Amino acid sequence: MLKLVSNGIRSGFRSLRLPVGDPFAVAGLAIYATFLLAAIFADYIAPFDPTEILYSKDFTLAADLPPGTDGHILGTTSLGRDIFSQIVFGTRSALLVGASAAFMVALIGSIVGLLSGYFGGWVDIVLMRLADIAFGIPFLPFVIVLAAFLEPSIWNVVFAMALVLWRDTARVIRSQVLTLRSRGYVEAARVCGSSDLKIIWRHITPNILPLSFLYGSIAIGWAILTEASISFLGFGDPEAISWGYMLQDAFASQALSRQAYYWFVPPGVAIILVVSAGFFISRGYEAILFPKLDR
């Protein structure tokens, strides 16, 4: 009976084309789920306000407390803020940036790839030259310049990624569309007089969707890493608590020379977990997409 239920769930996931067969992918999904819950219930999980400057019972600044003192699970920063609470709230900006950037990159990349591959001709030439140009733009410097000019906000990273990183997805989707287009059933639909829109929607889009997901899940990691870098360099939103901001704070506050590992190790580990979860899931997708690789 239990097996039946689990099989049912399993096939439910299958129809969503989630890669549940791969143990890594399952681990990745589990990590995502954990962080998602942390982001949603951050107010309940975090014992302190992450931006509040805390004082000890004797009314001195609760600065640089080692982990475990006075209910500070991971200790406090030099300004007397609770590190654990910052980690929990940092989940929000990480997932927000990651998910929206991934969505933008996958969406723009897929649309460009579809149009370029399906219509060919001058549409293809123009779009692919644009992709060449996007490949010529050094991404991180571009984000830095953009973030410096615009109002500090976590959306700068999303914006910059949408402007530049669609290129990788677009190229891959394009070549996939090119092979799909020459398949028998697409040819047949065309001969039967189906409209371009209908062919794209009915026959091509469903087949490139897993590929879009693959590039989307990789883009989540990229976005989080980029946001962390930008915040670390001081071009982030000082209002938003993010893991990159925490690392900048620690770096600027000499946490390294003071061996305050409890301060700068946890944000890094959190980033690694979320980003590698994306990789693990994308590996699962790869197994679905390229079954010949076996693993």
With contacts defined by CB under 8 A, name the span among 54-62, 107-115, 125-133, 177-185 that binds another protein.
Answer: 125-133
Q: Is 135 in the site for another protein (CB under 8 A)?
A: yes
The answer to whether the CB of 42 falls within 8 A of the CB of 89 is yes
Candidate list 132, 187, 196, 239; residue touching another protein; CB under 8 A: 132
Residue length of the chain: 295
Applying CB under 8 A, the span of 9-17, 119-127, 133-141, 193-201 interacting with another protein comes to 133-141
Contacts (CB under 8 A) with another protein, residues 203-222: 221
Looking at 45, 79, 111, 146, which residue binds another protein (CB under 8 A)? Answer: 146
How far is Cα 233 from Cα 246, in angstroms, rounded to an integer? Answer: 11
Distance CA 42, CA 180 (A): 45
287 Cβ partners below 8 Å, 6+ apart?
19, 21, 22, 25, 293, 294, 295
| Closest distance of CB 22 from another protein, Å | 12
Query: In b/e form, how buried is each residue of 10-21, taking b as 16+ CB within 10 angstroms?
Result: eeeeeeeebbbe
State the binding string over 81-120 for another protein (x if CB under 8 A, else -).
----------------------------------------
Instruction: Enter the DSSP assignment of 82.
Output: B
Task: Kindly state the number of chain residues that form the binding site for another protein, as judged by CB under 8 A.
Answer: 46
Q: Which of 40, 133, 188, 209 binds another protein (CB under 8 A)?
A: 133
Options 137, 188, 209, 252; binder of another protein; rule CB under 8 A: 137
Helix or strand or coil: residue 182? coil
Question: Which own/partner contact pairs does 39-47 have at CB distance under 8 Å and 24+ positions apart?
Answer: 39/91, 39/92, 39/95, 42/88, 42/89, 42/91, 42/92, 45/88, 46/82, 46/84, 46/85, 46/88, 46/89, 47/71, 47/73, 47/82, 47/84, 47/85
Q: For another protein, which residue of 210, 279, 287, 289 counts as binding (CB under 8 A)?
A: 279
Looking at the Cβ atoms of 9 and 33, the one nearer to another protein is 33
40 binds another protein (CB under 8 A): no
Residues that bind another protein (CB under 8 A): 24, 129, 132-133, 135-142, 144-146, 148-149, 221, 225, 228-229, 232-235, 244, 247, 250-251, 256-257, 259, 261, 264-265, 267-268, 271-272, 275-276, 278-280, 283, 293
